[in-house]
Amino acid sequence: THFGFRDVPEQMKESLVKGVFSSVASSYDVMNDAMSLGIHRLWKDHYVSKLDPHGGLKCLDVAGGTGDIAMRILDHAREKYRDRETSVSMLDINPEMLEEGKKRFAKTMYHNTPQVSFHLGNAEHLEQFADNTFDLYTIAFGIRNCTHPDKVVEEAYRVLKPGGVLSVLEFSNVPNPILSQAYDLWSFNVIPALGHILASDRDSYAYLVESIRRFYKAPEFAEVIRKAGFQVAQNEPWEPLTFGIAAIHTGVKV
Ligand code: SAM
C-alpha cells in the first residue's frame, strides 16, 4: 500500500502522526539505530554538549519521546558540573511515547526528583506553561511532524524567558547533488524496507521519510525562527550535521 500523506487533509495530520508514533513506540529506539546507522546518537550527543546545560537551568524538551534529549541534558549537567538543580520538563503529544520515557527514567537516579517531569500536550499550544518560564527549549526530531511548525516556534518564544534559548535538532537538506542522490536511495528504498523487516511497518517509515522531504530547507526554517522574534546568528544561522542530513537551528529570545 502507498501512504499518500501528501494528500491528507490538514486536520487529519495530527491524529495520523499520533498513530504513526503509537505504532512505532515500542520498536522506536531500535529503528532509530537501524535507520541512521547509530548516527542519531552522535548527533544528540553533539547537540547537548553544544548546549552545555548547567547551573540550575530550567529546560523544556518538547516532543521528548522516550527521553533521549532529557536524559542527556541531566547527565551532562551532573557529570560535567555536578549540577543536580538543572531540570527538564518533558512534553509529548503521545501518551505511549511518554510512558516509555517514564519507564526509562524510573531506572535512573532522576526518578521521583524535581529534575524531571512528564507532560502530555501539543507543541503548538503549551497552555500548561506560563509565559517566560524556561531558560532552554529543545525539540529534537519533533517539529517536522507538527501541523504548524511556525506555531510551535511562536509558543517556544512565549514560554522562554528573555535571553532564553531555542534549539532545534531536525532533519534538514543535503545541498550536495551527488550526496543527495545517495541519501535519496537510502531513505526512499532502504528505510521503508527496514521498517518492514524490523517493525512489520513499512508505511509508518515511508511516512517518516516523506515528512523529512516536505520539511523546510535550512534557510527557510531559519527565517521562520527569525520571524517569531528570535535572534538568529548572522554568521551561522544553523549548523549542518553529516552533510546536512540533520541540522541544529538556534534562536535567542530577545
Ligand atoms: N525527541 C525524541 C528523540 O529525539 O529521540 C523523540 C523524537 S520522535 C521522532 C518525535 C516525537 O514527537 C514523538 O514522540 C511524537 O509523539 C512527538 N510529537 C509529534 N507531534 C507532536 C506535537 N504536535 N506536539 C508534541 N509532540 C509531538
60 CA from centroid of ligand 1 (Å): 13
Q: What is the pLDDT of residues 201-218, one digit of tens each?
A: 888 888 889 999 999 999
The CATH architecture of the domain made up of 5-253 is: 3-Layer(aba) Sandwich (3.40)
One-letter amino acid for residue 194 of the chain: L
Mean pLDDT of the chain: 91
Q: In the structure, which protein residues have their CB atom closer than 6 angstroms to any atom of ligand 1?
A: 17, 21, 62-65, 68-69, 92-94, 97, 122-124, 140-142, 145-146
Pairwise pLDDT comparison (191 vs 151), residue with the higher score: 151
Q: Say if residues 75 and 105 touch (Cβ distance below 8 Å).
A: no
Q: What is the pLDDT of residue 5?
A: 45
Q: Counting beta carbons within 10 angstroms of the beta carbon of residue 179, is it exposed (0 to 12), middle (13 to 18) or buried (19 or more)?
A: middle
The question of ipTM being above 0.95 is answered as yes
Alpha carbon of 66 to ligand 1 centroid (Å): 9
CB 238 within 8 A of CB 248: yes
* Pairing mode, strands 160-171 and 246-253: antiparallel
Amino acid 20: pLDDT = 66
Domain coordinates of the chain in residue numbers?
Answer: 5-253
Q: What is the band of 16 on the pLDDT scale with cuts at 50, 70, 90? A: low
